[in-house]
Chain A
Amino acid sequence: MLGHWYWYRLEQTEREEAFTRDGAVALWLNADMITNTLSPADEDLDLQARIGLLGDRQEKQDAVRTLFARFQAPVMKFLADLFSDLDPDDRASCVHDAFQTIYQMAEDSTLDTEKPLAPLVFTIAKRRAIDIRRKNSRRIKTDGNIAGEIGDLLRDTETGRDWHHARVLDKAEEVQEEFRKFVASLKGQQRRVASIMADFLPDTLSDQEIAQEIQTRSGQHMTTMEVKGAKNALMKKFREILKLKLR
Chain B
Amino acid sequence: MDNPPNPQQKEDKALLALITATLHVREDEVGLEEIKRYLEPNIDLTPEDEAAINRFGSDPFASAPPNAAEVTARAQENRVMALNRKNTDSRFSAKTTEELDRRRKELLEKLRKRQKST
Task: Please report A residues at the B interface, Cβ cutoff 8 Å.
Answer: 8, 12, 30, 33-34, 37-40, 42-44, 47-48, 50-51, 54-57, 61, 64-65, 68-69, 72-78, 80, 82-85, 87-97, 99-101, 103-104, 107, 109, 113, 116, 118-119, 122-123, 126-133, 143, 146, 149-150, 153-154, 156-160, 163, 175-176, 179-180, 183-184, 194-195, 197-203, 231, 234-235, 238-239, 242
Measured between beta carbons, the chain B residues less than 8 angstroms from A99 are 60
For the complex, would chain B's binding face be called helix, strand, loop or mixed by DSSP majority? helix
Measured between beta carbons, the chain B residues less than 8 angstroms from A101 are 75, 78
Q: How far is the CA of A103 from the CA of B80 in the complex (A)?
A: 12
Instruction: For B13, give its contact among A37, A113, A176, A202 (CB under 8 Å).
Output: A202
Task: Please report B residues at the A interface, Cβ cutoff 8 Å.
Answer: 10-36, 38-39, 43-46, 48-49, 51-53, 55-56, 58-61, 64-65, 67-69, 71-72, 74-76, 78-79, 82, 85, 88-89, 92, 96, 100-101, 103-104, 107-108, 110-111, 114-115, 118
Do B24 and A93 touch (CB < 8 A)? no
Q: How far is the CA of A242 from the CA of B11 in the complex (A)?
A: 13
Q: How far is the CA of A158 from the CA of B46 in the complex (A)?
A: 35
What 8 A-B pairs have minimum CB-CB distances, sorted nearest first? A198-B23, A88-B52, A159-B14, A54-B104, A99-B60, A153-B17, A202-B16, A74-B38
Provide 24 A-B residue pairs closer than 8 Å at the C-beta atoms, listed in order of the A residue: A38-B32, A54-B107, A64-B61, A65-B61, A76-B45, A80-B49, A87-B52, A91-B49, A93-B72, A99-B60, A103-B82, A119-B35, A122-B38, A130-B27, A132-B71, A154-B17, A157-B14, A159-B18, A194-B19, A198-B24, A201-B16, A235-B12, A235-B15, A239-B15
Measured between beta carbons, the chain B residues less than 8 angstroms from A30 are 31
B96 CB to nearest A CB, Å: 7
Instruction: For A150, give its contact among B17, B85, B114 (CB under 8 Å).
Output: B17
| Given known A-B contacts A78-B35, A100-B78, A127-B27, A44 and B13 have beta carbons under 8 A apart | no
| Given known A-B contacts A37-B32, A83-B25, A200-B20, A96 and B52 have beta carbons under 8 A apart | no
B83 CB to nearest A CB, Å: 8
Measured between beta carbons, the chain B residues less than 8 angstroms from A47 are 107, 110-111, 114
B58 CB to nearest A CB, Å: 8
Measured between beta carbons, the chain A residues less than 8 angstroms from B52 are 76, 87-89, 91-92
Measured between beta carbons, the chain B residues less than 8 angstroms from A54 are 100-101, 103-104, 107
For the complex, would chain A's binding face be called helix, strand, loop or mixed by DSSP majority? helix
Q: How far is the CA of A116 from the CA of B78 in the complex (A)?
A: 23
Do A44 and B114 touch (CB < 8 A)? yes
Do B65 and A37 touch (CB < 8 A)? no
| Given known A-B contacts A93-B68, A126-B30, A160 and B14 have beta carbons under 8 A apart | yes
| Given known A-B contacts A54-B104, A97-B75, A235-B12, A74 and B88 have beta carbons under 8 A apart | no
Do B64 and A76 touch (CB < 8 A)? no
Measured between beta carbons, the chain B residues less than 8 angstroms from A43 are 114
Do B16 and A235 touch (CB < 8 A)? yes
User: Which residue among B12, B30, B51, B108 has the maximum number of chain A CB atoms within 10 Å of its CB?
Assistant: B30
Do A231 and B25 touch (CB < 8 A)? no
Do B14 and A153 touch (CB < 8 A)? yes
Do B17 and A201 touch (CB < 8 A)? yes
A217 CB to nearest B CB, Å: 12
Besides A118-B39, A130-B25, A238-B19, 11 other CB < 8 A contacts?
Answer: A34-B31, A51-B104, A51-B107, A51-B111, A55-B104, A64-B61, A130-B27, A143-B24, A184-B46, A194-B23, A235-B16
